[in-house]
Amino acid sequence: MKKALFLAVVLGFVVFFSLSVLAITIGFEPVSQEVVVGDPASVNLVISGLGDYSEPSLGTFDLNVTYNTAILDFTGYTLGLYLGDISLWEAVDLSWGETTPGTINLAELSLLSVSELDSLQPDSFTLATLTFNTLAVGTSSLDISITALGDAYGGSLSLDVQSGNISPVPEPATFILIGFGLGGIGILRRKRKG
């Protein structure tokens, strides 16, 4: 009885720690950024928690990123090279880009073998880089919804999703002009009182 209980506890610890080691996450880097209105902003869509040049490796993904069109204007994306080089037909870009205002579809399928993907992918890498123009002051969240995510064998991967945001801010010169204007008004008020 004691031996069975001991084995159950040891097995429980092994399962718990093996599952927590492979916590796969998709999110943005940087998670949050401030950009002057009118300037471009870029974010990397990063996956982490895979095997470090070993299984599990990523074989395919299909996901949507949503954002606020009143604050950001999507200008393009670039897929990373960790599922293979698209120009060499090692991977296929199946992305639709901006499907509706405020929604970007990104999808890629690797044509590499399991061993090639394992030797190519570190535990964390960039899936894609998204570029936006900033239109107005405010904060736009970047939210991810997963349609499909598969390992090198085609099996489904489970993961945690982390949102991000981009916050366009007024140009610093605007604050300086406002400061001079308020200072001038203050000086004029003092002169009139005196």
**CA 67 to CA 71: how far, in whole Å?**
8
Strands 140-151 and 72-79: unpaired
**CA 145 to CA 163: how far, in whole Å?**
10
* pLDDT for the residue 16: 45
* pLDDT for the residue 194: 63
**CA 60 to CA 69: how far, in whole Å?**
28
Domain extent, residue 37, equals 26-182
Residue 100 in tokens: 């509706």
* pLDDT for the residue 20: 41
pLDDT, one tens digit for every residue, the chain (194 residues)? 555 444 444 455 444 444 444 589 999 999 889 999 999 999 999 999 999 999 999 999 999 999 999 999 999 999 999 999 999 999 999 999 999 999 999 999 999 999 999 999 999 999 999 999 999 999 999 999 999 999 999 999 999 999 999 999 987 755 565 666 777 677 767 777 76
In a domain, 19, yes or no: no
Q: What is the CATH number of the domain that holds 33?
A: 2.60.40.680
* pLDDT for the residue 190: 72
**CA 35 to CA 145: how far, in whole Å?**
25
Provide the domain count of the chain: 1
* pLDDT for the residue 10: 47
CA 48 to the chain's CA centroid: 11
In a domain, 113, yes or no: yes
* pLDDT for the residue 114: 96
Which alpha helices (H) appear in 72-171, and where do they start and end?
Answer: 114-120
In a domain, 189, yes or no: no
The alpha carbon torsion through 177, 180, 182, 183 (nearest 10 deg) reads 170
Q: Cα 100–106–109 angle (5° rounding)?
A: 145
